[in-house]
Amino acid sequence: MDIHEHQAKDLLKRFGMPVPDGGIAFAPEQAMHEARKLGFPVVVKAQVHAGGRGAAGGVKLCQSEAEVSAFALSLLGRNLVTKQTDAGGKPVHRLLVEQATDIGKELYLGLVLDRKSERIMIVASREGGMEIEDLAEEQPDALIRMVIDPAVGLAPFQSRELAFGLGMAGAQVAQFATVLRACYRAFRDQDATMVEINPLVITGSGDLVALDAKMSFDTNALFRRPEVAALRDPGQEDPREDAAAEHGLSYVGLEGDIGCIINGAGLAMATMDMIQLAGGQPANFLDIGGGASAERVVAAFRTVLSDPNVSVILVNIFAGINRCDWVAAGVVQAYRDLNLTLPVVVRLAGTNVEEGRQIIIESGLPLLSADTLAEAAATAVAARPRMAA
């Protein structure tokens, strides 16, 4: 789960992170009020769950109330399209109005969960203010990486070593230790999966300030972090994912036209790879999970069909906990209840596979069957021209 910049700053501030003074506005009048309290100049930032806001026109340095009002009017209630969003962008419902900062130097600091080492990894660089992916590709040697041993935690020598690596000296080393400790404690104590300060700036007076902040959290741990769960903004999320979650489905929308209904994350990934290998593009990742009832299968069909780009549906089930006859009954029910006309390819394997195939055959519906994953993917790709025709 992601949260907004202002929420991440509020959380990190409680752990000792220095951040600029600021306030939240949901209307132009509120934005002007916050700006008056802070004093000009101020920086006004669109609050969306996406990076690249500055390049997309979502951040502006304002010198007057008139500028703040005009900029707020241009953003609130509209969608902001950045390089990290799709063509539809993300809706802007709130703005962060902050005191302008005298920037002397921009740095990068991030903590991520490194699954390879099963440790928290610190990533830092003297080159801040740019996307870490671009920096890693263009200047890989500019990144400093350090792993935190979970049995020891963040050691003081690590803070000093990183500070020296970032070119700091004197009082800045102690300030950086405070910044890094705030990031680590927030990461550890709130079950985060990522904390990113980009940029971490050295001001003209030599102080460290987090000018931007991002945090992501382990969704599976939210049950024990109600204060973090309360920060969720459903307006920034795909409504299809929320609808799918209500039925115990794992759904992620993609940009293709072949809808996928599959059980098991690994099988889903393999199926999407096979679709691409066959020359198609998957429209989604959807895992119906174990013990799928006919009702859950129908819900999966509804979720997939909520994407107007879908022209074919591929159902790929390898039944273990599931049963092929349950899934087949759900496919037949969905086809009839939803009055489907687009092609549906069904590949069944595993528990009660013969019973499942018999249900498909006896339904009398124009369902396309396949015995192997490769055949199912090829059949789904081949069905698209017939649909277009």
What average pLDDT does range 269-287 have in this prediction?
A: 93
**98 annotated as ligand-binding:** yes
Pair 381, 273 in one domain: yes
pLDDT at position 263 is 86
Residue pLDDT, tens place only, 313-358: 999 988 877 788 888 998 999 999 999 989 999 999 988 899 999 9
Pair 189, 96 in one domain: no
Total of domains in the chain:
3
At residue 296 the predicted structure's pLDDT band, cuts being 50, 70 and 90, is confident
Where is pLDDT greater, at 374 or 86?
374
pLDDT at position 215 is 97
| Whole-Å CA distances, 232 to 49, 115, 227, 236, 306 | 11, 25, 10, 9, 23
Does the pLDDT value for residue 25 go beyond 90?
yes
- Percent share of the chain, pLDDT over 70: 97
| Residue reference for tokens 């081949």 | 382
Q: Domain boundary residue among 83, 100, 117?
A: 100
What is the C-alpha to C-alpha distance for residues 346 and 373, in angstroms, rounded to an integer?
A: 10
Pair 127, 44 in one domain: no
Structure token digits, residue 54: 């500055």
Domain that residue 143 falls in:
1-19+102-237
Pair 69, 44 in one domain: yes
Pair 212, 269 in one domain: no
Start-end of H helices in the chain: 5-14, 28-38, 65-75, 132-138, 156-165, 171-189, 226-229, 239-246, 265-277, 294-305, 324-337, 353-362, 373-388
The number of C-alpha atoms within 13 Å of 106 and in the hemisphere containing its C-beta is 12
CB count, 10 Å around CB of 199?
21
**220 annotated as ligand-binding:** no
Pair 14, 71 in one domain: no
Where is pLDDT greater, at 240 or 232?
232
Pair 204, 313 in one domain: no
pLDDT at position 389 is 36
SS3 label, residue 106? strand
**101 annotated as ligand-binding:** yes
**Helices then strands (H, E): number in the chain?**
13, 18
Residues with a known catalytic role:
108, 196
Does the pLDDT value for residue 5 go beyond 90?
yes
Pair 231, 243 in one domain: no
**45 annotated as ligand-binding:** yes
Pair 56, 84 in one domain: yes
Residue pLDDT, tens place only, 126-136: 988 777 777 77
CATH number, position 27: 3.30.1490.20
**246 annotated as ligand-binding:** no
pTM of the model: 0.76
Pair 28, 132 in one domain: no
| Residue reference for tokens 């174990």 | 290
Residue pLDDT, tens place only, 254-277: 889 999 999 888 899 999 999 999
pLDDT at position 290 is 66
Pair 137, 269 in one domain: no
